[in-house]
Amino acid sequence: MKKHGRDWAAAAACLLLVGGLGTVSLFVGSFPLSLSQIGSILTGGMEGTLEAQVFWQLRFPRMCMGLLAGWALGLAGGVYQTVFRNPLASPDLTGVASGASLGAACAIVLGAGTRLEIMGGSFLMGMAALALVLLLVGAARLERTGSYILAGVIVSSLAEAGLMTLKVMADPERELAAIEVWTMGSLSAMTADKLPLPAAVVLCTVALLLLRRPILMLSLGDEQARSLGLDPVFWRGVLLTLTTLMVAAVVSVLGAVAFVGLIAPHIARLLLGRRGGLYLPLCGLVGGAVLLCADLPARVCTLPLSIFTVLLAVPVLAALLWRRKEGTYGDDA
């Protein structure tokens, strides 16, 4: 009962934080909007005005996408760290971020005419990175979780090498700048017409929450999972596919955003003290809060998101290091 009370208290606190950050984000931007103006826009009193267009076409979609992307990255990180029993596991583990960045860079260098074409190249290459990871693991016939991590490092390294090659080939005045911005992530180009693109996030979220039992069983180790009647190879492949599809959809729109999928599960773990209960939904909520928080200074300074997510990650990782030194960061389920 005490654990459930802590779960719901942590979830309520995160919901309030996300709601507060989301509300603040509606006011922050180069075009000023007052509280009275937003209230009038929401009630339909300023229909057709420039303020209403800014709110519905730019400000509101940016807030929604920030929340959705943070949720996806945080949830994916929680799944990775649970399944692989590795506190350093993150969405970058499968090479999806590097692969998606390489796909976007390929589209830019090849002269993609629209942002939709760039997003398409990013998404396809991100999914190709996952396929290559699964192919490497299958070819090696290794069932240990470490083999997936090693395969992810291999694929990420290949993608990074390809990305560096494309940077050398790119036009320094136009293409190189676009590639650099993509690899650091940004919500600045988010508009209402792009919101339906990462619809896979919602479907994958539902599937992952329904598969919470296999996720927790895999956290016990392969031998224990088999003794409980679970095929670890099959279910790990299913979970990797779902999380990678979700992350690739986000990266294809925002670009690569660093550290959100790494630190959100640790914050959720510190709040709950375990990986059971509402751990996975809380990972998503924390991820949304982290990304919305990072986007606020990014709007004011017009800088990429990853600069601020890295700055937010430093104290979290330092606290984690200190707790490990003190021996207070256990592995209770």
Q: What is the distance of C-alpha 196 from the center of its chain?
A: 17
In the chain, how many H helices and how many E strands? 15, 0
pLDDT at residue 111 in the model: 76
Confidence (pLDDT) at 92: 74
Report helix, strand or coil for 55. helix
For 79, residues 6+ apart whose C-beta sits below 8 A from its C-beta are 208, 215, 239, 243, 280
Select from 191, 166, 43 the least CA-distant residue to 105: 166
Measuring CA to CA, which residue among 127, 113, 111, 78 is closest to residue 252? 127
pLDDT of amino acid 130: 81
* Distance between CA atoms of residues 47 and 180, nearest Å: 38
pLDDT at 326: 60
pTM of the model: 0.88
Phi and psi at residue 201, to the nearest 5°: -60, -45
Residues in the chain: 333
**Angle between helix 96-109 and helix 175-184 axes, rounded to 10 deg:** 160
**The tokens 């303020």 sit on which residue?**
51
Kindly state the tokens that stand for 195.
């919101």
**Amino acid symbol at 316:** V
In this structure, is the dihedral angle defined by the CA atoms of residues 213, 214, 215 and 216, taken in order, positive or negative?
positive
Residue among 222, 216, 86, 225 at smallest CA distance from 142 = 222
Tens-binned pLDDT, residue by residue, of the chain (333 aa)? 456 677 788 889 999 999 999 999 998 888 878 888 888 888 887 787 888 888 888 899 999 999 999 999 999 999 988 888 878 788 777 788 888 888 888 888 887 656 677 777 878 888 888 888 878 877 877 656 667 778 888 998 999 899 899 888 888 877 887 788 778 888 887 877 777 767 778 888 999 999 998 998 888 888 888 898 888 888 988 898 888 888 888 887 888 888 899 999 999 988 887 777 789 999 999 999 999 999 999 988 888 898 999 999 999 888 888 876 665 555 544
Residue 333 is predicted with a pLDDT of 46
